[in-house]
Amino acid sequence: MSIYQFAKSIVLLAGQRIREELSQELIIETKSNPNDLVTNMDKETEAFLVSQINEHYPEHRIIGEEGHGQDVTDTEGYLWVIDPIDGTLNFVHQQQNFAISIGIFHDGKKYAGVIYDVMNDKLYHAEAGHGAYLNDQPLPVLKDTELVTSIISMNPNWLTKERTRDMYAPIVQAARSARSYGSAALDFAYVATGIIDSYITLRLHPWDFSGGMIIAEEVGAVVSNQLGEKLDPLHSSSILVANPALHQELLNDYLSPYRARLNEIHQGQFSRR
Ligand code: IPD
Ligand code: CA
Ligand code: CA
Ligand code: CA
């Protein structure tokens, strides 16, 4: 079994475990603030995935949101970047609209991405260079769109903050419509399947974007930060993902006038380099 096949198989198993345990009462804790939740299922799912990877590929390294992986500072060899439940708030409140997300890199290059929409049994996956799939169906390359006829996804919180309101409100105003799904991984999957045309957010961690980046790029989406720079799996970043024409329109017409501010935000928030 290839590493790609193995990744899909453990994600499906992890999803099955979540579905089976859904009727059990959750143990919910808060992390950085009262709305930043983690449950026993987030931790158990990550522990399961990490133990499976360690058993089969002991030399591979792992970054996981809930800390079962290692403290990784370089991209040598195989690197797994794992979000055991992306959309924990949806998981807690809705018991749906959450996903397991894995991005795998080899010597810093994209290798494979897997996103599993657990309750809808939809597996989005891609091996770099070999196209992306939803279950067994190949996903077509994205068509270019313009903002006026596009649906974008953005968390409305960014429109309530003084520092970002003037930057993002014109995008929402010009778009055909806006959505907010509460799972970054599903946002990437929805761009990859054309359900939305762009996903825009100011802060994601590597486990939020790694799987999605690999899948979306396989169908021709452009994935960058909001300064137009490439993402890397070791650093948190702002995010702009869209089909090529829309990505260019958003970057040139809406975000580049705010380059100075975006640079400042990046230096303040993502200064681990
Ligand atoms: C969160 C979700 C959410 C995004 C947050 C993420 P989590 O991940 O992807 O959509 O807006 O920035 O932290 O904590 O549910 O894995
Ligand atoms: Ca979290
Ligand atoms: Ca996440
Ligand atoms: Ca998570």
DSSP 119-148: TTTEEEEEETTS-EEETTEEPPPPPP--GG
- The pLDDT of residue 268 is 84
Could you say which ligand is closest to the alpha carbon of residue 179? Answer: 1
Distance of CA 178 to the CA centre of its chain: 18
Least confident span in 93-97, 128-132, 161-165: 161-165
Which residues of 107-243 form beta strands (DSSP E)? 109-117, 122-127, 132-134, 137-138, 151-153, 177-179, 198-204, 222-224, 237-242
Percent of the chain clearing pLDDT 90 (strictly above): 96
Topology adopted by domain 147-269: D-Maltodextrin-Binding Protein; domain 2 (3.40.190)
DSSP state of 73: -
pLDDT at residue 69, as a whole number: 84
Phi and psi at 258, nearest 5°, equal -105, 20
Label residue 179 by pLDDT band (50, 70, 90): very high
Query: Which residues are known catalytic residues?
Result: 65, 83, 85-86, 88, 208
Q: Which of 208, 213, 241 to mutate to test the pocket of ligand 1 (most atoms within 8 A of CB)?
A: 208
C-beta atoms surrounding 190 within 10 Å: 23
User: Would you say the CATH fold of 147-269 matches that of 3-134?
Assistant: no
The CA distance from 182 to 147, in Å, is 22
β-sheet bridge partners, residue 80? 62, 104
Q: Distance of CA 27 to CAs 39, 51, 90, 94, 218, Å?
A: 5, 21, 15, 15, 37
Q: Which residue has the tokens 């994601």?
A: 204
Smallest CA separation from ligand 1 atom 15, residue? 87
pLDDT at 35 over 60: yes
Mean pLDDT computed over every residue of the chain:
96
91: nearest Cα among 8, 184, 26? 26
The pLDDT of 170-186, averaged and rounded, is 98
State the distance from the centre of ligand 3 to the C-alpha of 139, rounded, in angstroms. 23
What is the position in ligand 1's atom list of the atom closest to the CA of 65?
16
Which atom of ligand 1 lies closest to the CA of 201? 11
Collapsing DSSP to helix, strand or coil, 71 comes out as coil
Which CATH architecture does the domain made up of 3-134 adopt?
A: 2-Layer Sandwich (3.30)
Secondary structure (3-state) at 69: coil
Q: Measured between alpha carbons, how far is residue 140 from residues 27, 57, 131, 145, 251 in Å?
A: 41, 32, 9, 15, 24
- Rounded to two decimals, the ipTM of the complex is 0.98
pLDDT bin (cut points 50, 70, 90) of residue 273 is very low
Enumerate residues with CB within 5 Å of ligand 3 (an ion): 83, 86, 208
CA 238 to chain CA mean position, Å: 12
For the chain, what are the domain ranges?
A: 3-134, 147-269
CA distance 51 to 103: 17
Please list the residues that pair with 30 across neighbouring strands: 37
Name the region of 125 (left: φ>0; alpha: ψ -120 to 50; beta: rest).
Answer: beta
